[in-house]
Chain A
Amino acid sequence: MEKRDSEKLIIDQTAYTTRLSSRFASRKPYAPPVAGKIQSFIPGTVVEVLVQLGDTVKEGEDIVILDAMKMKNRLKSHLDGKVVAVNVKPGDRVTKGAVLVEIV
């Protein structure tokens, strides 16, 4: 087994001296999703961006078409608002969670 030093883990306000698992040590702190960020739920390729900077959009409207898993996925807006940022163009390869378009 690899040598890992003991650290502190706090449970119910009591600090325990123990080794931490690599999964726990490298976990991402929770960040609540922001409604206006249209993010890719899967890695893929942008096929088409259906809006332009300044457009007014309604909740449920298609914003980006993302090619992934052999499907043309339509990413929709979660709110009524205005397009304040377009971060991708057709042909761009994006990672999971990339912010493609921002709406306020």
Chain B
Amino acid sequence: MALEKKIRELKEKREKMLLGGGEEAIVKQKAMGKNTARERIMAILDTGTFNEYDMFVEHDARDFGMDKKHLPSDGVVIGTGTVHGNPVAIFAQDFTVAGGSLGLMHSRKITKIMDHALKMRIPLIGINDSGGARIQEGVNSLAGYGEIFFRNTISSGVIPQISVILGPCAGGAVYSPALTDFVFVVDNISKMFITGPEVIKTVLGEEISMEALGGARVHCEITGNAHFFSSSEDECFSQIKRLISFIPRNNQVRAAVTETVPPEAGYDIEKIVPGDPTLPYDVREVIRAVADGSDFFEIQEMYARNIVIGFGRMGGRTVGFVANQPMEMAGVLDVDSSDKAARFIRYCDAFSIPLITLVDLPGYLPGVDQEHAGVIRHGAKVLYAYSEATVPKLTVILRKAYGGGYIAMSSRHLRADFVLAWPGAEIAVMGPEGAANIIFRKEITSAANPDEMRRQKVDEYREKFANPYVAASRGYVDAVIEPSETRRMLLHGLEVSENKDVQMPWKKHGIPPF
């Protein structure tokens, strides 16, 4: 046969494969507001850069009628391409083919592209849209999942791994996203749970819809399993591309450096934080007042709002911001905010992204529910993460830094490189009200007018201790600065730390309080 005829034959075979589960299935997919697997890949990658592999892979299962089933590309599309000109590896499950269910060859395709990603040291993007294990393939499906989870773990901290939940991702399958760095979810489309509503109803008698059990909002607001929320797939793709622009392609190189752009003119940094330490403000305004272009890419915005994390740039270089949020739960540290901060700190440390911490907190949240939920164990994660991190660590104490919270929020003692404090900073063992009541209890209870004595003692304590100078006198704070000097000092601190080299004692790895 002449070559041209063979080329025509190839084109015909490809056309068939590109239809996936067929026109009808595609219509159903679109009706749910969902795109097809290849459409999603094309939307994320730079135009014209997608190279697909294993398009013609077929399953060889014979049981339960599988020998009669022809499943195009075995329900998953894999390949490589570029995002912002940088190579990435990508896979997308095809819900139109047997519900995107995972069988042996399907999983082999995914593990193949995962192996490529690790070998080539490029980011891995996984689009999950699957009904779960292909029951007809039995234990082979379980084996498939296991091989995926192992690779997610081995690649963790070496290459960025991004999971996009664009459909159901249930049962064991959901552990792959859980092992990756960032999870993207879309309202009304993403569904993640270990056990679904039907089983929960049968075994426990609890009734709940899929959306209320494991929809996008649940994972963004309650469980903390997801990092980015969007209302449409298109919005989601923009977020993914934006994230990739901030992070390096592997742990051996730094993130791309852009041009330095000053913050927008509208921010008056001296007017953002109220003088009265009990009044709230949005700490993200302070971040925007110092970051390049006032551009702040927040992560897990809807979870544990009392702490803020995200990426920005300083002098063109990506930095990770961690900041207490006084307008939510007074910016306290608690179980969820500790988890949120600790994992982000470790992500930045793994990928050589400097950390800038803004401090304004009254301490930890009291309560039996917090104590019984393990605030001790979870809170310890923040201490561990900051201590372990060897990336440049810059801290700015904006206002309150009381007690254990002062220590945990990237203090000198956890080896922050530069600790700056604003003039209104209150670095003390606790707030004046609480402290005076303890230290001067005798004077207060034995006074002729206890209330007046208490007021006097609170003022005394405030005068003496609620300021940055006691800490500065010990060198726990490197400099007390005017708010308007903040950006300049941070830029200089980052410049100076460019080649920071700190060696930790050799260990296989520590034992963080998981």
Q: Which residue of A lies closest to B436 (CB)?
A: A13
B203 surroundings in chain A (CB, below 8 A): 68-70
A19 x B280 contact (CB < 8 A): yes
B interface residue count range (under 10 / 10 to 19 / 20 to 34 / 35 or more): 20 to 34
A18 x B368 contact (CB < 8 A): no
Task: Give the distance in Å from the alpha carbon of A44 to the alpha carbon of B382 in the complex.
Answer: 39
Q: Which residue of A lies closest to B328 (CB)?
A: A19
B280 x A12 contact (CB < 8 A): no
A15 x B278 contact (CB < 8 A): yes
- 25 A-B contacts, Cβ less than 8 Å apart? A11-B332, A11-B365, A11-B366, A11-B431, A12-B433, A12-B435, A13-B431, A14-B362, A14-B432, A15-B278, A16-B278, A16-B330, A16-B362, A18-B328, A19-B328, A21-B305, A21-B328, A24-B329, A27-B367, A43-B205, A43-B206, A44-B204, A68-B204, A69-B203, A95-B205
Closest approach, in angstroms, between the C-beta of B243 and any C-beta of chain A? 20
A19 x B434 contact (CB < 8 A): no
B433 x A16 contact (CB < 8 A): no
Whether, in the assembled complex, B272 has its beta carbon less than 8 Å from a beta carbon of chain A, the answer is: no
Query: Could you list 10 further interchain pairs (A-B, Cβ under 8 angstroms) beyond the known A19-B305, A24-B329, A45-B205?
Result: A9-B329, A12-B402, A13-B433, A14-B432, A16-B326, A18-B328, A24-B365, A27-B369, A43-B206, A70-B203
A11 surroundings in chain B (CB, below 8 A): 330, 332, 362-363, 365-366, 431, 434
A93 surroundings in chain B (CB, below 8 A): 205
Q: Which residue of A lies closest to B431 (CB)?
A: A14
Task: Give the distance in Å from the alpha carbon of A30 to the alpha carbon of B327 in the complex.
Answer: 26
Q: Which of A15, A18, A42, A68 has the most CB of B within 10 A?
A: A18
Closest approach, in angstroms, between the C-beta of A92 and any C-beta of chain B? 11
Closest approach, in angstroms, between the C-beta of A10 and any C-beta of chain B? 9
Q: Which of B280, B329, B368 has the most CB of A within 10 A?
A: B329
Closest approach, in angstroms, between the C-beta of A15 and any C-beta of chain B? 6
Task: Give the distance in Å from the alpha carbon of A79 to the alpha carbon of B203 in the complex.
Answer: 30
Task: Give the distance in Å from the alpha carbon of A69 to the alpha carbon of B279 in the complex.
Answer: 49
Scan residues 151-201 of chain B and give those whose CB is less than 8 A from a CB of chain A.
none
Closest approach, in angstroms, between the C-beta of A7 and any C-beta of chain B? 10
Q: What 0/1 pattern do residues 294 to 312 of B give for CB contact below 8 A with A?
A: 0000000010011000000
Whether A13 contacts B329 in the complex (CB less than 8 A), given A21-B305, A69-B203, A70-B203, comes out as no
Q: Which of A11, A13, A30 has the most CB of B within 10 A?
A: A11
Task: Give the distance in Å from the alpha carbon of A20 to the alpha carbon of B365 in the complex.
Answer: 12
Task: Give the distance in Å from the alpha carbon of A15 to the alpha carbon of B332 in the complex.
Answer: 13
A interface residue count range (under 10 / 10 to 19 / 20 to 34 / 35 or more): 20 to 34
Whether, in the assembled complex, B437 has its beta carbon less than 8 Å from a beta carbon of chain A, the answer is: yes
Whether A13 contacts B437 in the complex (CB less than 8 A), given A43-B205, A69-B203, A70-B203, comes out as yes
Task: Give the distance in Å from the alpha carbon of A17 to the alpha carbon of B305 in the complex.
Answer: 15
Task: Give the distance in Å from the alpha carbon of A54 to the alpha carbon of B326 in the complex.
Answer: 57
Query: Which of B302, B326, B431 lies in contact with A18, CB distance below 8 A?
Result: B326
Query: Which of A6, A14, A18 lies in contact with B434, CB distance below 8 A?
Result: A14
A18 surroundings in chain B (CB, below 8 A): 280, 326-331
Closest approach, in angstroms, between the C-beta of B137 and any C-beta of chain A? 25
Scan residues 1-43 of chain A and give those whose CB is less than 8 A from a CB of chain B.
1, 6, 9, 11-21, 23-24, 27-28, 30, 42-43
B327 surroundings in chain A (CB, below 8 A): 6, 18-19
A12 x B430 contact (CB < 8 A): yes
A42 surroundings in chain B (CB, below 8 A): 204
Closest approach, in angstroms, between the C-beta of A20 and any C-beta of chain B? 6
Closest approach, in angstroms, between the C-beta of B120 and any C-beta of chain A? 40
Task: Give the distance in Å from the alpha carbon of A68 to the alpha carbon of B206 in the complex.
Answer: 12
B204 surroundings in chain A (CB, below 8 A): 42-44, 68-69
Closest approach, in angstroms, between the C-beta of B190 and any C-beta of chain A? 20
B369 x A30 contact (CB < 8 A): yes
B363 surroundings in chain A (CB, below 8 A): 11-12
B306 surroundings in chain A (CB, below 8 A): 21
Task: Give the distance in Å from the alpha carbon of A24 to the alpha carbon of B306 in the complex.
Answer: 12
A12 x B278 contact (CB < 8 A): no
Scan residues 69-101 of chain A and give those whose CB is less than 8 A from a CB of chain B.
69-70, 93, 95
Task: Give the distance in Å from the alpha carbon of A93 to the alpha carbon of B205 in the complex.
Answer: 8
A24 surroundings in chain B (CB, below 8 A): 329, 365
Closest approach, in angstroms, between the C-beta of A73 and any C-beta of chain B? 13
B369 surroundings in chain A (CB, below 8 A): 27-28, 30
Closest approach, in angstroms, between the C-beta of A102 and any C-beta of chain B? 23
List 6 A-B pairs, minimum CB-CB distance, nearest first: A12-B434, A16-B330, A30-B368, A11-B362, A14-B431, A13-B433
Closest approach, in angstroms, between the C-beta of B194 and any C-beta of chain A? 14
A17 x B328 contact (CB < 8 A): no
Scan residues 240-298 of chain B and give those whose CB is less than 8 A from a CB of chain A.
277-280
A6 x B362 contact (CB < 8 A): no
Closest approach, in angstroms, between the C-beta of A62 and any C-beta of chain B? 22
A9 surroundings in chain B (CB, below 8 A): 329-330, 332
Closest approach, in angstroms, between the C-beta of A32 and any C-beta of chain B? 10
A30 surroundings in chain B (CB, below 8 A): 368-369
A13 surroundings in chain B (CB, below 8 A): 431, 433-434, 437
Task: Give the distance in Å from the alpha carbon of A59 to the alpha carbon of B306 in the complex.
Answer: 45
Q: What 0/1 pattern do residues 55 to 74 of A give for CB contact below 8 A with B?
A: 00000000000001110000
Task: Give the distance in Å from the alpha carbon of A17 to the alpha carbon of B367 in the complex.
Answer: 18
Task: Give the distance in Å from the alpha carbon of A9 to the alpha carbon of B287 in the complex.
Answer: 24
A1 surroundings in chain B (CB, below 8 A): 302
Task: Give the distance in Å from the alpha carbon of A69 to the alpha carbon of B362 in the complex.
Answer: 43
A70 surroundings in chain B (CB, below 8 A): 203
